[in-house]
Amino acid sequence: MYQGSFVHRLTKICVDIMFYGGILCCAALPFIMSPLMEYFRYSETEILPYTAILLASGLCAVYILWQLKKMLKTLFSGNPFVSANATCLRKCAVASFLIATVYLVKAVFWFTVATAVIVIIFMLLGLFCLTLKDVFKQAIAYKEETDWTV
């Protein structure tokens, strides 16, 4: 039933690169923040807050990518409409709302337009994931009903 295409393979490769790259970035973050902050001429007192913000949002982003990897496995197996994918979408929504919350707190102390844009984007992503989760749940219900009637 499932036919792999170039776009599917490219999507998987991109998600894998972003997932492993995100892990490397999160692991390297504590070591590269001091030189980066010095290069951009931030004060020493801002290193810890910025590191915490970037690490928290980076870990949430890696978690979202891990959930996408799990959903891609079900797609490639030919059965994407399973309850595990609805659960993955709910977890992606929670992680998106966490990123939005982290940057909302950041905006209270260091407001920038980019911070406001990040908050808006991740709030929309969280709402999109919740909506898509409900669509998947409905599709799963239809699929199960059809499986029982055949």
Taking the model in full, what pTM does it have? 0.91
Assign 5 a pLDDT band (cuts: 50, 70, 90). confident
Report the candidate in 66, 94, 74 with the shortest Cα–Cα distance to residue 136. 74
Q: What is the pLDDT of residues 6-48, one digit of tens each?
A: 998 999 999 999 999 999 999 999 999 989 988 988 888 889 9
For residue 2, pLDDT beyond 70? no
Assign 149 a pLDDT band (cuts: 50, 70, 90). confident
d(CA 39, CA 34): 9
For residue 85, pLDDT beyond 90? yes
Report whether 101 contacts 118 (CB < 8 A): no
d(CA 138, CA 143): 9
